[in-house]
Amino acid sequence: MRPDKAELLKRLSRIEGQVRGVAQMIESDRYCIDVLTQLAAIRSALDATALGLTGQHVHHCVAGAIAAGQGHEAIDELMKVLQRLTR
């Protein structure tokens, strides 16, 4: 098991709760700005989770690939996913 797996799952569970909360806000016809504020918080939480996972990937997977002589492939793969994350 990854040492950060429990923390990642905890974060995702929290985000899941936030998403359910936004759905309830919409059902309750809450003020749009309040809903948008919560959506921004969800996006921020997802970004922080992705950044943490990216850091773990770099330190473990990419570093291991570089040590094994497969660094270019690992870096290319990382760059592709970073492009998707930043769009």
Q: Which domains does the chain have, with CATH numbers?
A: 5-85 (1.20.58.1000)
Buried b (16+ CB within 10 A) or exposed e, 9-34: eebeeebeebeeebeebeeeeeeeee
CA angle 42, 54, 86 (to 5 degrees): 60
The pLDDT of residue 3: 61
**1 pLDDT more than 70:** no
The overall average pLDDT reported for the chain is 94
pLDDT tens digits, one per residue of 4-19: 889 999 999 999 999 9
